[in-house]
Structure 1
Amino acid sequence: MPHQNLIRRLLAVSRLSEAEQKALAGLPYAVRNLADGDIAVHQGERPSGCTVLMSGFLSRQRVISERNQISAFYVPGDIPNLHCLHVPMMDHDLCSTGPSIIATVGHVALRQVLRDFPGLTYALWGESVIQAAIYREWVENLGARAALPRVAHLLCELSTRLQRVGLAENGKMNLPFTQADLADACGLSTVHINCTIQELRRRRLIDWQGQTLELLQRAELEFIAEFNQEYLR
């Protein structure tokens, strides 16, 4: 069920009663399977529902001056376009990064549940606040940090977020990202990303084999990145 990841995500930052969890679990939804690069929701579209990420990853992206810019990654349990409940038009694409499964929950049904359970409104507002904090951190990361701490910060953030929904353990996680994906997210060239990943490997800070990434020295990586996970709470 798509709502299991959503409930787990909300429970990580909020308290939900059994009735509230049951109300979320009972929401009707439609499921879509996406391949790498498929667009879940297009820029300019006016979606009639919110997207819940069931598995895999989505990215928020837009082409600016002929370059693709990724401004967010979403992990299972996230609702990337929750804001469309209030801002009807999408100003960016939601793209599948690697294969993913999404569920769409209609706005009408979701609004009714939020009216019936004000505690859920509070929980989803909290989720929106966290997403805004992540966005601010990304802006500061791109604007103020050099390549090595910039990439290290992104990896620490992803590990923390995946751990909270049970998808990372002891610093090990599945990341189906290409170097081009990381370049678009970090505002770097693919050549610069490759050199940065190799430097993190050389220092024995990470091990990245295929789609499996392991943070080998988490404390050292966080120190380099100036990473403080408080903004994710």
Structure 2
Amino acid sequence: MASVESKAALDLLVRRLERIGHLSDEERRAVGNLPAKIQTLRPRQDIVLDKEKPEHSCLLVEGWAYRYKLLGQGRRQILSFHVPGDMPDLHSLHIKTMDHSLGALTEATIAFIAHEALLDVTRRFPGLAGIMWRETLIDAAIFRQWIAGMGQRDGFGRMAHLFCELYCKLEAIGLAADHRCTLPITQTELGDALGLSSVHTNRVLQEMKAQSLIELRTRTLNITDWDGLVQVAEFDPSYLQLAQ
């Protein structure tokens, strides 16, 4: 019999998939019956490493996670941030060797679901396979936005876009409201995500505060001028497919 923790995790997965596409009652039951191993990770603990060949995908149940790539001389590029409901390594179902690492940003509860079980349920329910495929396409759309930002936005615009993106994702799962949300990301991690030095990251944050766009204190982001931040970021949330 599934534990209370794994049942709650799979209920979260059902809700996540239903934001992407319609599930039949039978498909909901199939997802709810997936075997899930629950584990709590420390902040900054790795979940899966570059070059590993994982046999499971992970569902983020509580806390935050991040994808990253280590380069020479200890340089790190953060590739994305993840919030509850995300399956940041779902692609490992079909791409067997990881080409980046995935770690817990905060203390995080993770549900590990075996690839064998996920593949079985997608074979039995092609509709579910389509929804999971759509999930990876949304991931790709987020990557394209980050690439466009790195190439064409200045540091101010990049940070504004990231804050808008994270707020919208958190609001969609009920973890943000009134343009206020938790933001457990250090300035170093912001710099590693946005391609900015620590000095430049701090300067951008101070400029945003000076323009009364945001307040940032005690791991909490308060967007005091949402329309202004959206305009600076040229932010259009349609790529997140939250309307589903």
TM-score category, normalised to shorter length: over 0.9
| 178-187 or 6-15: bigger deviation | 6-15
One-letter code of the match for 1:94?
L
Letter in 2 for 1:26: N
Partner residue in 1 for 2:60: 53
Aligned partner (choices 91, 98, 119) of residue 99 of structure 2: 91
Q: Alpha-carbon deviation of 1:162?
A: 1.2
From 16, 39, 45, the counterpart of 2:46: 39
Post-superposition offset of 1:56: 1.2
Cα pair 1:3 1:77 within 8 Å, conserved: no
Cα displacement (A) at 1:211: 1.2
Cα distance between partner residues in 1 of 2:48 and 2:70? 15
Aligned residue-pair number: 233
- Secondary structure of 1:94 counterpart: strand
Deviates more, 1:208-217 or 1:138-147: 208-217
Q: 2:20 aligns with which of 13, 19, 29?
A: 13
Q: TM-score, normalised by structure 2?
A: 0.92
The code of the aligned residue for 1:9 comes to: R
Cross-structure match for 2:192: 184
Match of 2:5 in 1: none
Q: TM-score, normalised by structure 1?
A: 0.96
**Correspondent of 2:70 among 63, 66, 72:** 63
Q: Helix, strand or coil: the match of 1:77?
A: coil
Cα distance in 2 for residues equivalent to 1:4 and 1:169: 23
- After TM superposition, give the deviation of residue 82 of structure 1 in Å: 0.8
Q: Which one-letter code corresponds to 2:31 in the other structure? A: L
3-state DSSP of counterpart to 1:196: helix
| % identity of equivalent residues | 39
RMSD (Å), alpha carbons: 1.1
Look up the match of 1:120. 128
Q: Structure 1 unaligned segments of length 5 or more: list them.
A: none
* 8 Å contact from structure 1 (residues 41, 93) kept in 2: yes
| 1:103-142 matched pairs, under 5 angstroms | 103-142=111-150
How much has 1:10 moved relative to structure 2? 2.1
